[in-house]
Structure 1
Amino acid sequence: MLIREATAADWPAIWPFFHTIVAAGETYAYPPDIDAAAGRELWMLEPPGRTVVAVDEDGTVLGSAKMNPNHMGGASHIASASFMVDPRHGRRGVGRALGEHVLAWARAEGYRGIQFNSVIETNTAAVALWQSLGFAIMTTIPEGFRHPTKGYVGFHVMHRKL
């Protein structure tokens, strides 16, 4: 697996799994009916943000991550990131590889920590992955997310010092 900068040419490969994940409404607080143009605007970041793709040896896009300063000004030394793995390529270590890549990027860019603003508590695989990579749950916002089948559930704010 190779992780590289995403280009405009990658969006047609990202959009199908982005759309599937967002439309399910289980893990992202994006509008479930978001269209491709609005999705591209949210996901394909310009500097100081960055978007990458994880690709297989044949060039198949397996997943993607976007990373950026969490805030501006006096809080711009904390990074944030979001991750999506194509469900057809799950359980292959793509999320872990993208997470490790983001950690390395944030260190190289001089960030002092990474904060995930909204990790849905029912997304137990993601919570476990981030904890295995050294992230801690700083707080949970009770009923902060309306899950389509589980009702109101919490979302975690997670952090890792670099």
Structure 2
Amino acid sequence: MSARCTFHIGPFYFGIPVEAVQEVLRGQTLTPVPLAPPAVKGLLNLRGDIVTVIDLRETLGIPHTGAGSPPLHVLVRDRGEVVSLCVDRIGEVAEAEDSLFESPPETLQGTARELIRGAYKLSDRLLLVLDVSKAMETAERGSSAGSSSTGGLTCE
């Protein structure tokens, strides 16, 4: 059985391994980074440590919806580095049987398909498992699902 910390970005429901999550913050002041890739939203000061903030909407090609609630920051540790993933809402810790894990849905295309490890079909929705390492690499090199000719995540 796998435990996933879940969160929402628009209509999509994502999960990452619970052991990768350091903490969740809200209402942080960001420092912009000139000439940074579009998915790098800025930097935040976390008790003296500088943390890169990644806009998952940009990385996954999910359109921004305009003014809404300020994003939440899910701080994750990957390969010794802490980064903040901007999400709309935090979910719960979801547990799913490993036997329910499936390949990424065929409807995912382009970079978005590369960033999703797979999915769990839950009783009421689909839980997309985000590959944190690949999302970090994609954001930092400046490519995103939205910049791909095949597009990003769409709600069908």
Same fold (TM over 0.5): no
Q: What is the TM-score when the length of structure 2 is the normalising length?
A: 0.24
The structure, 1 or 2, with the larger RCO (C-alpha pairs under 8 Å, 6+ apart) is: 2
Q: What is the TM-score when the length of structure 1 is the normalising length?
A: 0.24
Larger strand proportion of the pair: 2
